[in-house]
Structure 1
Amino acid sequence: MHPPTVSIELEFTAPLAPVSLGTAPQTFPARTSYDHVVLPGDFPDPTVTKIGDTYWASATTAEWGAIFPIFSSKNLLDWELVGHVFPDKQPDWASSNFWAPEFYQENGRTYLYYTARSKQGGMLCVAVASADHPAGPYRDHGPLVGQEAGSIDGFAMPDENGDLYLVWKEDGNSCQQETPIWAQRLNADRTALIGEATELFTNDVKWEGPLVEGSALVRHNGWFYHFFAGNSCCGKGCNYATGVARSRTLLGPWEKHQQNPILDRNDVWKCPGHGTVTEMDGRWFLLHHAYAAESHEFVGRQGLLSEFTWNAQEWPEFVNRSPQAPALTDMSRFNIADEFEGDALGLEWQWPISAPKPAATVRDGQLHLAASASRLGTIVGRRTHAATYKAATTLDFANLPVDTYAGLAAVGDPYNALALMAGNGQVQIWHVKSGKQQCLAQVYIEPCDTLTLRLEVWGGQRYRFAYSTDGATWQPLPTESFSLNGTYLPPWDRGVRVALVAQGAEDTTAVFNNFIVRNKR
């Protein structure tokens, strides 16, 4: 029997509200503005398409599974997570870098063009999967193109004659070369390229820097419009922005707008780019990503909806040439209180794709997580929504197997993490950086049935840890500087996850009673 829920005092003034993206749509008050953060958290390179009366969206998942979330919405604002394109494992041919999914619907069938790295040769490729329904299940058809420098950011677009083409970027910036945007016709099954490739344009304007990428095309009033991103996408030093080009025919010639970039940073949002165009009730929108100025790389690139209009010269225009979405303020909406009800982890949970999908069983209000001896161990995590938050978990400490450690961690990837781990009668702080693991502090504790672990983080940078044997009285773990520096945690292209961890022999299991996150701005 699951022990009574512990009242875990995390010293927050905001009430704990078990709101979770995907389990229930958000409710917004009536308004005329559609400029909002609609995919809060780490959802880079978002795509959106309308099929029937429903909008469907997805985003990059990079090195986290499940791969490519599937969201649905009736109004572009309220999104529900309904599944994943590859829910259990990556396609057999691919190893990593699951980027930039793009939907295309035709004759009642949904295609998803996406980027991944091939196991053979190691090059980035554009591939395709298809399904009878946008929610899946999807069948993978493998790569369509994989140039020596890499091929990424595939987008399917019919030309003026109705012939379907794949548009993609040659990843020349990976080897200090230009980055041509190519187009090539797709076969009748939409699963292979035919004919010759045509170069549409490349990075040849100063603001674009080393690259153009993230193609999204739409046809309007006889013009093809090609929205694209330029410059550096990711991390603290990013300077990404969005431009547009137009042409009367898909294969060109293409004219870049003299007012590029048409969407650039402001005081609230940094590095807006790589989005997809959609329309609703005669209004036009770009669903794209951007970093929140306050949380920046620690939360990751979030999905924003930005409205644009067509000016007298028939070019798209955004207000003030920057995202108008207000900053997220009520962060309690994204608090988490998972008591492990039901019989499986929720769709919001993730794991590193470098390891098999974790053996995680939910029963009787507890999560049973099979341990792993590799690196940090088995990891199941959740996206963060703020750079300042507190997280806690209560684990079944009395029945934790010998030489098995279980705990709570802030994880950039399996090679970079800060974790509070319990096992063998001890509580320890683990510091993992570039794959090197250290135990920074440890204390022995008296035997107890349950043990509650807590981590606190401020601004994504300062971390400190504590434990409790009763869920109310906290004992901080001593460190030389009281708080630890976590600025190294986020990879260049991903935000930090807060995770449950189990390390030990693979025939052992750690049992968790809950998982709680409370956010602050």
Structure 2
Amino acid sequence: MSVAFEKGAHPVALSSDYSAECRGQVPTDATPTLSVAPPVATEPRATYANVVLPGDFPDPTVTKIGDTYWASATSAEWGPVFPLFKSTNLVDWELVSHVFADKPEWAEASFWAPEISHENGKTYICYTARQKGGPLCVAMASAHDPAGPYLDHGPLVGQEQGSIDGFPIRDENGELYLVWKEDGNAYGNPTPLWAQRLNEERTALLGDAPVELFRNDVPWEGNLVEGSAFAQHDGYFYMFYAGNGCCGSGCTYATGVARARQLLGPWEKCPQNPILKKNKVWSCPGHGTVAEYDGRWFLLHHAYHASSHEFVGRQGILSEFSWNAEGWPEFEGNSPQAAPLNNVSRLNLTDTFAGNHLAETWQWPISKKPVVGIGDGQLLLQACPDELGALVAQRTYAATYKATTSFNAAVLPPGTFAGITAVGDPHNALALMASYGKLQLWHVKNGVSQCLTEVVVAPTRSLGLRVEAWGGQRYRFSYSLNGVTWEAMPLDSFAVNGTYLPPWDRGIRVGLLAQGPTDVTVAFDHFTIRNQR
């Protein structure tokens, strides 16, 4: 399958494998690419266009394996779980595969904060997920190839209040430890950061009890510290960490740093904390991992862009730092240096479903994997009778965009709907849905569906559907019976309010739906996204 980006962008060819069988596995031999920003300059400069993971990629992690950097990020409630990127320069990233095509058997939700590392020929993914019927846990997976396939080893620790944000690291004597956060803020309690010995196979903790490194105890940190990531410099362990409120329109996230001569402490927090905080372009920078490139030091972290904020989500950006005279890391202006993408049309997407592979960039709710395939230049989506139905979606890269699709509405049987949606999660969406001879605009909020308006249309073999978004807040839905002229769905107001759509920790997706009996398959002809500043 090929997915073409607009002229003016870097060359892109996205591909993946996916069987049309129910609960099929995603093969691992696909090699999709994603290149979205110019390479790092060879000479230092104050600002540079380095939004390296545009779209909803929170909690990014990076490590260097040989001459190649590998990265991943939180996937939350979307599958497949944990994207895997590779790069030679920290800026131009190729989407290679995912850690898990399906969620591990023991886990049900909250696939957060992967940390990628490599040692003795094996690649490890330390990650967070919620145990079925239990707490948030830190778990481990491993692979002989960083692209996978990965073997899941299950949870390492799951305290009663929850355990998240695990990071494996060796101490000053070469002993392997796991550092993690106890999720006390979820219960109105402090959030200690713990360390405990980890076996060499990275499958179990050793010893009787963890050691507390430090906790949230200064005002800027608010009700939490989390997202530990380590670097070693001039005889110190440096821990970069995030504090305060991570997400949403009222977020207060920022980045601090602490240091210690020995991993188990004592730890000293930097007097200048937070060392990375918001500016006019980026807000709530935090939860990143340190990487070196050509003698320069970077933190790959997430932040909200001022013009799109929670509607796009937390995007992966690079911020360069240096070491000051007191031995502390220092960011210029104590804020992200990334310049916004001046031309968001470079991230326009056209998918004509050529070949027989579904692109790795497509996602689905992790709790309800759809039956989907590619054939004869169409995306084949098996209908589902539950809630919105079967859903596949793409991340958005800007808060103002236009997305379109088309399909043969003349063959839709009664009781089957197919359409296009702007979706926060399966319980919160706006969707234009077609059935035989009619169109309905659905408003879904907290799982309650309402038909806002309906029009009668003659069944057509090529029905076009379109959603337009302005600033992530206002939406207009239109249809075309001839592929040329468009009619807006009739409403009392110009556009539908979609401010309720994004969940607390995720951006909005746009996607395709098939709602109805499972013996019906909807064949979509194409899907496009056109972004605007």
The answer to whether the superposition gives a TM-score over 0.5 is yes
> What is the CA-CA distance between 1:134 and the residue it aligns to?
0.8
CA distance in 1: counterparts of 2:484 and 2:497, whole angstroms: 26
> What is the CA-CA distance between 1:270 and the residue it aligns to?
0.4
What letter is aligned with 2:514? A
Which aligned pairs between 1:35-434 and structure 2 lie closer than 5 A? 36-87=50-101, 89-120=102-133, 122-195=134-207, 196-355=209-368, 357-434=369-446
| Cα deviation 1:74-131 (Å, max 9, x = unaligned) | 01010000000002x10000000000000121110111100000003x2000000000
What letter is aligned with 1:90? K
What letter is aligned with 2:52? V
Relative to the length of structure 2, the TM-score reads 0.93
> What is the CA-CA distance between 1:402 and the residue it aligns to?
2.4
What letter is aligned with 1:422? A
CA distance in 1: counterparts of 2:7 and 2:92, whole angstroms: 23
Which aligned pairs between 1:477-492 and structure 2 lie closer than 5 A? 477-492=489-504
> What is the CA-CA distance between 1:283 and the residue it aligns to?
0.6
Give yes or no for contact 1:451–1:469 (8 Å, CA) kept in 2. yes
CA distance in 2: counterparts of 1:158 and 1:29, whole angstroms: 32
> What is the CA-CA distance between 1:424 and the residue it aligns to?
2.4
Give yes or no for contact 1:35–1:305 (8 Å, CA) kept in 2. no
> What is the CA-CA distance between 1:481 and the residue it aligns to?
1.4
| SS at structure 2 position matched to 1:125 | strand
> What is the CA-CA distance between 1:26 and the residue it aligns to?
3.8
Question: Runs of 5+ in structure 1 lacking a partner?
Answer: 1-13
| SS at structure 2 position matched to 1:513 | strand
What letter is aligned with 1:498? V
Give yes or no for contact 2:37–2:52 (8 Å, CA) kept in 1. no
Higher mean C-alpha deviation, range 28-37 or range 511-520: 28-37
Instruction: Give the 3 Å change call, closer, same or farther, for CA 290–479 of structure 1 in structure 2.
Output: same
| SS at structure 2 position matched to 1:217 | strand
Give yes or no for contact 2:37–2:51 (8 Å, CA) kept in 1. no
Aligned to 2:18: none
Give yes or no for contact 1:401–1:509 (8 Å, CA) kept in 2. no
Pick one of 32, 35, 38 that aligns with 1:28: 38
> What is the CA-CA distance between 1:30 and the residue it aligns to?
7.1
| SS at structure 2 position matched to 1:453 | strand
| Cα deviation 1:234-269 (Å, max 9, x = unaligned) | 000001000000000000000000000000000000
Give yes or no for contact 2:428–2:446 (8 Å, CA) kept in 1. yes
CA distance in 2: counterparts of 1:329 and 1:67, whole angstroms: 30
Question: Runs of 5+ in structure 2 lacking a partner?
Answer: 1-5, 15-31
| Cα deviation 1:418-470 (Å, max 9, x = unaligned) | 00010021111000000000110110101221100011110001111110011
Aligned to 1:3: none
CA distance in 2: counterparts of 1:493 and 1:30, whole angstroms: 29
Relative to the length of structure 1, the TM-score reads 0.95
Query: Which aligned runs of 4 or more in structure 1 are off by greater than 4 angstroms?
Result: 14-22
What letter is aligned with 1:39? L
CA distance in 2: counterparts of 1:15 and 1:137, whole angstroms: 34
CA distance in 1: counterparts of 2:331 and 2:8, whole angstroms: 37
| SS at structure 2 position matched to 1:72 | strand
Give yes or no for contact 1:246–1:256 (8 Å, CA) kept in 2. yes
Higher mean C-alpha deviation, range 20-29 or range 373-382: 20-29
Instruction: Give the 3 Å change call, closer, same or farther, for CA 178–63 of structure 1 in structure 2.
Output: same
Give yes or no for contact 2:438–2:457 (8 Å, CA) kept in 1. yes
The alignment covers a number of residue pairs equal to: 505
What letter is aligned with 2:99? V
Instruction: Give the 3 Å change call, closer, same or farther, for CA 176–24 of structure 1 in structure 2.
Output: closer
Instruction: Give the 3 Å change call, closer, same or farther, for CA 171–70 of structure 1 in structure 2.
Output: same
CA distance in 2: counterparts of 1:342 and 1:238, whole angstroms: 43
> What is the CA-CA distance between 1:396 and the residue it aligns to?
1.4
Aligned to 1:509: 521
Instruction: Give the 3 Å change call, closer, same or farther, for CA 16–489 of structure 1 in structure 2.
Output: farther
CA distance in 2: counterparts of 1:224 and 1:178, whole angstroms: 23
